[in-house]
Amino acid sequence: MRRFEGQTVLVTGGAKGIGAATAARLASEGAQVVVADFDEAAATETAERIGGRAVRCDVTSRADVEAAVAAAAESGRLDVLVTCAGIIRDNLIHKMTDDDWEAVIATHLRGTFLAAQAAQAVMTQQGSGSMVLVSSVSALGNRGQANYSAAKMGIQGFTRTLGIELGPFGVNANAIAPGFIATEMTDATARRLGMEPEEHRAKAAENIPLRRVAFPEDVASVVAFLASDAAGAVNGQSINVCGGTVMC
Ligand code: NAD
């Protein structure tokens, strides 16, 4: 499939994990991709591998985000924005510091707000565009992640509002909510818990109806669908990619 031929795409947090897999997927379908990440070396490596461009960008900085959007929209167009930049600072509520709270809220919520705000200026002008904003199933609540779940549920509400405000201009916005995805983020959690990543994944899989964790490519293919014309009538929604819901 070459669904993004001639289109320009910006992926924040595109250097590694889900963002890198998404950048690779969209590039493989014809997109010109700008990989924006504060890990400049990894962003450059990913951009070179997929034939895209790298931009150093801290998503909490308005100036960096506006420069990244301007770089992606150099041709005057920006067709797709995918926001993947993310961190975790897990702690139980009684131990959570101001810094744990603010770093996570700034990266996920402010970072998503800044990117969407800069992107919509280009997209509404051209009368088309798609945004896919990465949330998480942790939005529904997860022990040790009060900061992260607040930010990720915030992204879902933000996405619904973007859908309402930008839809009339031909721009759709959807959120994607991954479950356990095998990336550096979950590997770091494994190490913090004193486990090898493989052991951690196997344990997580026991509680997933499909009995497997997902990989960045599993998320990237759903992002590609949501960013494509095939999902042109989907707007303001949050789509889980988690192997099946376990209800409590
Ligand atoms: P990752 O750690 O592999 O990649 C995150 C990327 O974001 C890295 O390239 C990192 O350098 C970049 N980044 C972090 N802070 C940044 C900032 N301030 N500015 C610019 N770039 C920044 O993690 P991942 O698992 O690929 O996570 C990607 C997104 O998916 C995150 O939003 C994460 O919360 C979300 N998510 C991940 C999982 C999972 O299980 N891995 C599940 C649900 C949601």
137 is catalytic: no
Residue 246 lies in a domain: no
Ligand 1 center–CA 168 separation, angstroms: 30
Mutate to test the pocket of ligand 1, among 37, 192, 203 (most ligand atoms within 8 A of CB): 37
Ligand 1 and 185: CB distance under 6 A? yes
Q: Are residues 166 and 197 in the same domain?
A: no
Q: Are residues 232 and 111 in the same domain?
A: yes
Residue 1 lies in a domain: no
Return the biggest CA–CA distance within the chain. 51
Helix-helix angle 40-50:17-28, to 10 degrees: 20
Strand segments, DSSP code E, in 49-119 are 53-56, 80-83
Please state, in angstroms and as integers, the Cα–Cα distance from residue 215 to each residue in 203, 209, 223, 236, following that order. Answer: 15, 16, 13, 24
Output DSSP code: residue 106: I
Residue showing tokens 């744990």: 100
Ligand 1 and 18: CB distance under 6 A? yes
Ligand 1 center–CA 111 separation, angstroms: 12
Domains contained in the chain, number:
2
Q: Are residues 138 and 223 in the same domain?
A: yes
- Per DSSP, the three-state class of 101 is helix
Q: What's the pLDDT tens digit per position in 84-115? A: 999 999 999 999 999 999 999 999 999 999 99
Output helix, strand, coil percentages for the chain, rounded to the nearest 5.
Answer: 50, 15, 35
The overall pTM is greater than 0.95:
yes
Q: Please state, in angstroms and rounded to a whole number, the distance separating the CA atoms of residues 105 and 159.
A: 16
**What's the CATH code of the domain at 81?**
3.40.50.720
- Among 4, 113, 148, 180, the active-site one is 148
Q: Which residues span the domain enclosing 186?
A: 182-213
Angle at alpha carbon of residue 177, lines to 41 and 203, rounded to 5°: 85
Q: What's the pLDDT tens digit per position in 7-62? A: 999 999 999 999 999 999 999 999 999 999 999 999 999 999 999 999 999 999 99
Tell which phi-psi region holds residue 13, choosing left (phi > 0), alpha (psi between -120 and 50) or beta.
left
pLDDT in the model for residue 55: 98
Q: What's the pLDDT tens digit per position in 122-131? A: 999 999 999 9
